[in-house]
A and B are shown apart, each in its own frame.
Chain A
Amino acid sequence: MTGIEAAAPALAPKKQWLTATVREVTDETPRVRSLVLDVPGWPGHSAGQHVDVRLTAPDGYQAQRSYSIASAPASGTITLTVEMLPDGEVSSYLAGEARVGDQFELRGPIGGYFVWTPDLEGPLFLVGGGSGIVPLMAILRERAANMMMLRDGGAKGAAQPASLLFSSRSYDDIIYRAELERLAGQGGGLTVTHTLTRGAPAGWAGLSRRIDAMMLTEHGFAPDLMPRIFICGPTPLVETVAFTLRELGHGPKLIKTERFGPTGK
């Protein structure tokens, strides 16, 4: 053993590439799809974690990317929700080409920080933009599953109020719209607020602007309640929201972020 290995914490076994087979494909929006996967040997995950996906072409060419897991740990399945990106080598396959029975490789779960477990106390404030909803949905699904178990003495965090503020481009671009409505409607202390940034349909009574301080104050929780905050979305949204929440008095240690894409500057 070298000095580096000797100083490491417990040496974990290497995370193996596992074969994933597409069991079910669901169109969430015109550009976003969910794939339910069968992954024999999957070790389980926590809400908020992600996986690495590796595709192999017939000529042996491989491409690898990271995707958040959409399904709750309690569900026992792995669901990925993928947005097709312009020129996205892997996303255009997963969100376009892939059909039931197709196979690729998956490795994980990955990430031990942007994670929610039912024993976390304090109100839960989730802020998402576009496909940044995916790890937040895993959290809400896990929370709902634990709410069911709470009657039998489950963990406390699931009983805390929760609020989701979700920014989408248009009404048709809202990912998981029906399920979010159902989750908010089942009396579990969850509020879901949508805002649309590129035009709202006729009769839209909701918000239609980018997330700002007023929205975060109105739909979040006061800093003295010490809410747990998870923000996921495109970089400019996450930067703005995290900065504004700090200005509003929320401690940076309670604000967890996950960003994707460039700065846009």
Chain B
Amino acid sequence: MSEPPISRGFRGRGNAARSARVPPGQHLVDDFPVLSAGPTPPVDLPNWRLSIEDGDSPLAEWSWAQFMALPQTDLIVDIHCVTTWSKLDTRWRGVSIDALLEAAGLSEPPQPYVLAHCDGGYTTNIPAEDLLDGKAMVAWEYDGEPLHPEHGGPARLLVPHLYFWKSAKWVQKLQFVDPEVPGFWEENGYHIYGDPWREQRYDGD
């Protein structure tokens, strides 16, 4: 591999700004940028539903009140957006996917892959095992406040160990499937898995 060209006059903030917690090609931000492909859907808690499906068969469905009654988990995690920002120690509360499966009476995922469906039609795919063992949740609180609609409120998927487009905003349904079905960005040039530590940004990375 050839050496990258030196950008004359560029010094940047230097290596001191790096942290072992920041994946390659990422930089730290203090604010919380917003990225969505379309309009933010209006919040409608009375009609909000979260469901789980095995293929096309419904397995479980929760209203907002039922969802709030499930065991809640607090998580402090670093998040990494494919557009190169990372944010450390973000604080979330929600229901782990383990707790959702348990509430649905499942001891294990019915299929090896998940396609998450969202209000507005957004989808994203994740291997089921990446959602288990406390690695993921459906989050509704951020930094002690109800999750703002721009950031995915009333509730979003949170899968912090993958690039943040996998943490689908406005999530409504987790569909277990086999084989894996590529989601919205995965169909539009982004990586099928999206591990920030292996810099899997785009198809082919």
Contact = CB atoms under 8 A, between A and B. Distances in A.
A102 B7 contact: yes
A135 B6 CA distance: 28
Given A89-B12, A235-B33, A12 B83 contact: no
Using C-beta atoms within 8 Å of the partner chain, give the interface range for chain A.
35 or more
Contacts of B25: 52, 54, 62, 64
Contacts of B83: 66
Contact of B5 (A4, A9, A56): A56
Interface in B9-56: 9-15, 25-27, 31-42
Contact of A56 (B4, B182, B202): B4
Among A56, A57, A65, which residue has the most Cβ atoms of chain B within 10 A?
A: A57
A182 interface: no
Contact of B33 (A112, A113, A262): A262
A252 interface: yes
Contacts of A62: 4, 12, 25
A260 B34 CA distance: 7
Contact of A3 (B13, B40, B112, B187): B112
Interface stretch (A14-22, A69-77, A149-157): A14-22
B205 A15 contact: yes
Contact of A263 (B32, B127, B205): B32
A218 interface: no
Given A15-B205, A57-B11, A252 B189 contact: no
A103 B10 CA distance: 10
Interface in A1-44: 3-9, 11-15, 17, 19
The prevalent SS among residues of A at the interface is mixed
Contacts of A93: 7, 9-10
A243 to B, nearest CB: 6
A89 B188 CA distance: 28
A245 to B, nearest CB: 7
Contacts of A110: 189, 202
Interface string B164-205: 000000000000000110101101110011000000011111
A121 interface: no
Interface in A75-119: 89, 93, 97-99, 102-105, 110-114
A210 interface: no
A257 B36 contact: yes
A209 to B, nearest CB: 22
A61 B27 contact: no
Interface residues of B, number: 52
B12 A57 contact: yes
B61 interface: no
B148 A8 contact: no
Interface string B109-124: 0001100000011000
Contact of B84 (A64, A97, A103): A64
Given A4-B193, A58-B6, A104-B7, A263 B151 contact: yes
A55 interface: yes
B12 A112 contact: no
A54 B151 contact: no
B150 interface: yes
Contacts of B36: 257, 259
Nearest to B180: A7
What are the nearest 6 A-B pairs in CB distance? A262-B31, A242-B39, A112-B188, A7-B180, A103-B5, A12-B204
Given A8-B203, A252-B120, 17 more contacts: A4-B180, A4-B193, A15-B205, A55-B10, A57-B7, A58-B11, A61-B12, A63-B13, A97-B10, A98-B9, A102-B7, A112-B188, A235-B150, A239-B40, A245-B39, A252-B121, A262-B31
28 contacts: A8-B182, A9-B182, A14-B204, A15-B204, A55-B12, A56-B10, A57-B7, A61-B11, A63-B12, A64-B25, A64-B84, A89-B27, A93-B10, A97-B9, A98-B9, A111-B188, A111-B189, A113-B188, A242-B38, A242-B40, A243-B40, A246-B39, A252-B38, A252-B39, A257-B38, A259-B34, A261-B31, A263-B34
